[in-house]
Amino acid sequence: MSRFAIDTRTLRCLRAALVAIAALLFAIPTAIAQQASSQDSTGAIIQGSVNDSGGNPVANASVQLEETAARNPLETKTSAAGAFEFSALPTGTYKLTADKSGLRSAAATIVIGSNVDRRHIDLVLESNAATRPLSPTQSMGFSDSPNFTVAGVTDWTAVGGHGSDSILRTSEDLARETVALKPKDAEPGTSDRAGSAKEGESEGTLRTALAGAPGSFEANHQLGEYYLNAGRYRESLPLLEAAYRLDPANENNEGDLALAYEQIGDFKQAREHVDNLLKRKNDADLHRMAAELDEKLGDPLGAVQEYQLAVALNPSEQNYFAWGSELLLHRAVWQAADVFRNGVKAHPHSVRLLTGLGTALFAGAAYDEAARNLCAASDLDPSNPEPYIFMGKVAMAAPTPSPCIGAKLARFAKDQRDSSIANYLYAMAMWKQQQSSSSSPAMQDVERLLTKAVTIDPRCSDGFLQLGILAASQHNYKKAIQLYTKASEVNPQLAEAHYRLGVAYEHLGEHDKAQQEFQLHDQIEKRQADAVERERRELKQFVVVQGQPATSVPQ
């Protein structure tokens, strides 16, 4: 037998091996193609579960997903474990609901901003959920880490509001006032920056030291810092600049110099020095200062990114508040609420974080939840008037009265008996509680409180206006005219006082006077509307993409 001969058994083995190799070679491109197809497939995923009110999973429930731009909604059924999933979804805004056996879930609104987005939403079947929208914090699926990116800005025409224009204006006013809230221990004119000038040294001593050594970094820096701490910013600037030229690497001096530039209004120079410092040190306080400067330079997008970096480096009460306030100011209200809520978790005794959260919720039309947070803020520091002032404005603008707010404002009026604003706010909350009634016994208390408010502060124009409205509701138009006139004298720009004066004059048949007041009202209203429009045009609105966390903090 030749040494090259192959027996039948060996030949069968070779043939089998060749077949296997051929199959493998055929399968490789097929697998690669399938993998590429899988990688190339795009679309977001929305998944979750449907439960009953007791938290038990509901099998075979119908789940509908409706995209605002699509005609036909998608529908699926839950598994035995109550789970559902929609995949390969394009970007857009969706409404998600579930129902079974006459029970229905609240509607969840979901914004998909990326084809790699993945959301988990839990729905609860209830008998009365059809008319109750899901909390935005539930529908957006926020966690302790931000699940959104501020992608840009747009003009004021994109502003979001709920209800009447008066509610929108109130929320805008409260947003601006939120930014100005100070921490509990802050004193006017103080700074959280630790100075290096020697304590106890007088201006004369420091000036003498500089005269003896005009080329000394220390002498220039210490006198410059002395003036900076005293609020004499223009006097501090040339001294700090001289110290900077002598030692550009001194971080304390450059920080003082940036602050001096900021205080005199040269925000560009201040930002350049902060940039220099950030190149050497990735510091939360520097990021916060950079954010404040970006906002003043008209770059809110840069500002909100710097605030987020500050929180990532140091989740302090101050940094959480600054970040949430920036979002709220530029109408990213639910993102602001999320930041404030996480800030409250980390700093549960912060009055201004709770106040900011209440303001953001009010701007999102979550009136009851807003009231609860403002009431909680007042409980943390009952002597602090700021939460009461916020809740008073919310009480007057919200569609329905809040028992919580009424009780807290009653405490405020009791504790601050000689405060005009305390008496006024409690009167208005009490009046709101009475709805449209002007004859109930409680209205006597309202009149008493308003009278006390204008007696304590004769400049309380709103108090005179409300007393006039009360008199007119009782058909006492002569008294109403006296009170409206007083209100307009105290505040000539109080448009409503002129309008109500016109109505009262009409009731008394004095039509010429009525027309004069109506004209004044229209002129003031136009000026104020133009001013609001200018403010909205100047204050850009954030464009937010959900489900895309911001990039990590550079180390």
Q: Which of 7-11, 97-101, 197-201, 354-358 has the lowest mean pLDDT?
A: 7-11
Q: Which residues pair with 64 in a beta bridge?
A: 75, 97
Note the pLDDT of residue 72.
75
Give residue-wise pLDDT tens across range 252-268.
999 999 999 999 999 99
Domains 44-141 and 458-545 share a fold: no
Handedness of CA 103, 108, 114, 120 (dihedral sign): negative
The domain defined by 458-545 folds into 1.25.40
For residue 447, pLDDT over 70 is answered with yes
Percent of the chain with pLDDT over 90: 57
What value does the mean pLDDT take over residues 418-431? Answer: 94
Identity of the residue numbered 518: F
What value does the mean pLDDT take over residues 301-329? Answer: 95
Give residue-wise pLDDT tens across range 479-538.
999 999 999 999 999 999 999 999 999 999 999 999 999 999 999 999 998 988 888 788
The CATH number of domain 44-141, selected from 3.40.1670.10, 2.60.40.1120, 3.60.15.10, 3.40.50.1970: 2.60.40.1120
Confidence of residue 385 (pLDDT cuts 50, 70, 90): very high
For residue 193, pLDDT over 50 is answered with no
Q: How far apart are CA 3 and CA 109, in angstroms?
A: 79
Contact 138, 108 (CB under 8 A): yes
Q: Which of the given ranges, 62-71, 144-153, 307-316, has the highest pLDDT on average? A: 307-316
Phi, psi of 128 (to 5 degrees): -120, 20
Confidence of residue 38 (pLDDT cuts 50, 70, 90): very low
What value does the mean pLDDT take over residues 48-65? Answer: 87
Domain ranges of the chain: 1-39, 44-141, 458-545
The first and second tokens of residue 192, run together, are 């959280």
What value does the mean pLDDT take over residues 275-301? Answer: 94
What value does the mean pLDDT take over residues 392-412? Answer: 90
For residue 277, pLDDT over 50 is answered with yes
Contact 207, 437 (CB under 8 A): no
Contact 84, 63 (CB under 8 A): yes
Percent of the chain with pLDDT over 70: 79
Between 355 and 28, name the one with better pLDDT.
355
Q: How far apart are CA 553 and CA 257, in angstroms?
A: 26
For residue 222, pLDDT over 90 is answered with yes
What value does the mean pLDDT take over residues 419-423? Answer: 96
Helix (H) / strand (E) containing 65 = strand 62-67
Confidence of residue 186 (pLDDT cuts 50, 70, 90): low
Phi, psi of 177 (to 5 degrees): -70, -30
Note the pLDDT of residue 17.
45
Contact 207, 223 (CB under 8 A): yes
For residue 553, pLDDT over 50 is answered with no
Q: How far apart are CA 288 and CA 407, in angstroms?
A: 37
Q: Which residues pair with 66 in a beta bridge?
A: 95
Contact 464, 490 (CB under 8 A): yes
Contact 505, 517 (CB under 8 A): yes
Give residue-wise pLDDT tens across range 77-123.
999 999 999 988 887 777 888 988 878 887 776 766 566 667 788 88
pTM attached to this predicted model: 0.69
The mean of the pLDDT values for the chain is 82
Phi, psi of 228 (to 5 degrees): -60, -45
